Structure 1
Amino acid sequence: MSDRLFGPLADVSGDAGYDEHPPRMGFFTDTSICIGCKACEVACKEWNELPADRVGFTGTSYDNTTELGADTWRHVAFVEKTVTTVDLGLPGIGPPEDRDDGSIAWLMSSDVCKHCTHAACLDVCPTGALFRTEFGTVVVQDDICNGCGYCIPACPYGVIDQRKDDGRAFKCTMCYDRLKVGEEPACAKACPTDSIQFGPLDELRDRAGRRVDELHAKGVDVARLYGADPTDGVGGDGAFFLLLDEPEVYGLPPDPIVTTRDLGSMWRHVGAAAGALAGLAVASFLGRRR
């Protein structure tokens, strides 16, 4: 894979063939101010005309969608957490005088496609249904998708899903149609607390870093960024998060990697093996003729 895809100066749109393009756009989701209202889910479904998903009791009364899927491109997770002494005073949990050690609180986070710097789904798509936009985002063209499903296991976050009726893959487009006319994505526009922030990715990373410093200064030492590091296993994400616990608590992989990172070497080994077999076959044939 190209070295340009990793590091702070990664130009994913340039690598995708756009000579002139706007700055890379993205999402910064600050979970410390998410109130779990699910306005982002509703706005996403309304704008993208997505069908209802998992209607009825799911076993988790506060979460009617439970996970990202072909018909749910934004998902607000409600993570039930037993409060410990170290958690008292966290945003959303409250000051120590209001809660006791061992009580129950909620961590809330609006999850979405990460629009990876190096997106394995792009590597494996055989039809070109998946493509990189001029904004650096990753979009599935449902009229080109043939339902092969290769992108599903390729995604390190388990974001992409297939509709059961026709097998085509769907996921967040970061409202590509809205971006093209200068509008922000529907989820960010609907968020009442600015937990979901949209803008140029470099600016969002700077803003997120300042937010973490602010929380640390207030004693919230557990605050950390997830997906903002351009040197991580996927070259950083176009949608990253401020978390108040370990990634696994939110259902996120702790160390995501590009699932296709070894494809090049694999094909080279396959080619070398095929060449060796062909050489043996020729040698055997010539030996028999003698």
Structure 2
Amino acid sequence: MSPSDTATIKHSELLNRLVINIDTTEEVGRVAQLLVDTAVHQVEGLVCKAGFLGRERQAFGWVQVESIGPDSVVVKPGTEFASRRLDDAIAMTTQEVWSDTGERVGHLVDYCIELNTGAITLYLFAGEGLRGLTEGIYALSPRGVVSAGRKRIMVQDARIEDAELFSEGLSQRAAGAASFLQKDYSQTQQDFESVVDKSQALAEQLQQQTRRFADQTRQQLGQVWGQFQERASQGRDQLQDRSASKDDDGKTIEVDSFEVWPDEDEEKTP
């Protein structure tokens, strides 16, 4: 494997990943399990499953792993490796986790592997049953492991007490969600109050503008009405002056000011 591959990957992320022969580019199968030397906390190899229902099994030493990518594990089958080391290695899957004081504290759920060397950097464990769901997953350094077998892993009690939270459980997530909702509610309330204040200010400005517009409209209507009345009065005076004319005998002809004068066409009619 390339020396630059110094990242880590979880055991669960490798399971069922495609395995490809680097020489033939053919599919060898898929990763079924990893084999660990618990004395030195080292992944010694992997078991690949193939065929009908995965009944065909083939083991590869970690030294035969050329690279591990996001989609596959590339192996070189012809490389020599010590099969005895694989025979002594075991699969680390769901072993019970016990303290060296005789207390059962949970079970193994996963572990982290350094890609370049295959060394286990962290064991991940959780409490039993509902406790494991609510309290989350904790990380344990290999230095705290006293011994490990196919059924159990024994850990120093002090290391268990100091184990750091690796991923949150339901209780932490619920608390985090409640805190987020509380902050979000407070911020939303502040935003709502700000919108209300701005809306009230806008409504007051609108009312003031409406009142000013109404006042201006009334004033303009009053001026127009006054001008109309003045012009109407002038028109009546002019009409009365025209209607109070004299005939040839010097008699005054009284004409109703609202009489309609005949059109010029009507005057020409014999």
* Larger strand proportion of the pair: 2
- Larger RCO (CA under 8 A, 6+ residues apart): 1
Query: Higher Cα Rg: structure 1 or 2?
Result: 2
Q: Normalising by the residue count of structure 1, what TM-score does the alignment of the two structures yield?
A: 0.28
* Larger helix proportion of the pair: 2
